[in-house]
A and B are shown apart, each in its own frame.
Chain A
Amino acid sequence: MYTLSKNLKLSAIIFMVVGFVLFAVDYVFLPKTIADIEAMHAGDAHGGGHGDATVADAHEADTHHVAADDAHAEEGHVMTEEEHNEHLLAGYQNKPWSAVYIAAFFFFMISLGCLAFYAVQYAAQAGWSPLLLRVMEGITGYLLPGSIIMFVLLALSGFHFNHMFHWMADGITDPASDNYDKLIAGKSGWLNVPWLLIRAAIFIAGWNIYRFFAVKFSKEQDEASDNKSHKKSFKIAAAFLVFFLYTESMMSWDWIMSIDPHWFSTLFGWYVLAGMMVCGITTIALVTMILKGAGYLQSVNDSHIHDLAKFMFGFSIFWTYLWFSQFMLIWYSNIPEEVTYYIQRIEDYNLPFFGMLVMNFLFPLLILMNSDFKRVNWFVVMAGIVILLGHYVDIFNMVMPGTVGQAWSFGFVEIGSLMFFFGLFVLIVFSSLTKRPLEPKRNPLIEESKHFHY
Chain B
Amino acid sequence: MASTVIHAIYSDDDVLMNAVKEVRKKHLHINEVYTPFPVHGLDKAMGLAPTRLAITAFLYGCVGITVATLMMNFIMIEDWPQNIGGKPSFSYIENMPAFVPIMFELTVFFAAHLMVITFYMRSKLWPFKKAENPDVRTTDDHFLMEIDATGKDGKELADFLVTTGAVEINLIANEA
Contact = CB atoms under 8 A, between A and B. Distances in A.
Interface stretch (A26-34, A179-187, A325-333): A325-333
Interface in A131-167: none
A453 B97 CA distance: 41
B87 interface: yes
Main secondary structure of the interface of B (DSSP, over half): helix
A52 B103 CA distance: 39
Contact of A324 (B41, B54, B87, B100): B100
Contacts of A333: 85
B49 interface: no
A334 B54 contact: no
B127 interface: no
Contacts, number: 19
Contacts of A350: none
A142 B48 CA distance: 46
Contact of A332 (B41, B54, B97): B97
A332 B97 CA distance: 8
Contacts of A453: 41
B87 A332 contact: yes
Interface in B50-67: 54, 58
A371 interface: yes
A331 B97 contact: yes
Contacts of A369: 58
| Listed residue (A324, A327, A332, A333) with the most chain B CB atoms within 10 angstroms of its CB | A332
Given A371-B54, A453-B41, A334 B85 contact: yes
A328 B98 contact: yes
B41 A328 contact: no
A343 to B, nearest CB: 14
B86 interface: yes
A328 B100 contact: yes
A328 B87 CA distance: 13
A333 B85 CA distance: 7
B18 to A, nearest CB: 15
Nearest to A372: B50
B85 A332 contact: yes
Nearest to B44: A453
Interface in A362-381: 369, 371
A278 B86 CA distance: 36
A330 to B, nearest CB: 10
A371 B58 CA distance: 12
B54 A328 contact: no
B100 A334 contact: no
A327 B98 CA distance: 11
A334 B86 contact: yes
A335 B149 CA distance: 75
Interface in A289-324: 324
A334 B58 CA distance: 35
Contacts of B98: 328, 332
B97 A328 contact: yes
A121 B137 CA distance: 38
A261 B101 CA distance: 30
Interface of A: 324, 327-328, 331-334, 369, 371, 453
Given A324-B97, A332-B98, 4 more contacts: A327-B97, A331-B97, A332-B87, A332-B97
Q: Which 8 A-B pairs have the closest CB atoms?
A: A328-B97, A331-B97, A332-B85, A332-B98, A334-B86, A324-B100, A334-B85, A328-B100
19 contacts: A324-B97, A324-B100, A327-B97, A328-B97, A328-B98, A328-B100, A328-B101, A331-B97, A332-B85, A332-B87, A332-B97, A332-B98, A333-B85, A334-B85, A334-B86, A334-B87, A369-B58, A371-B54, A453-B41
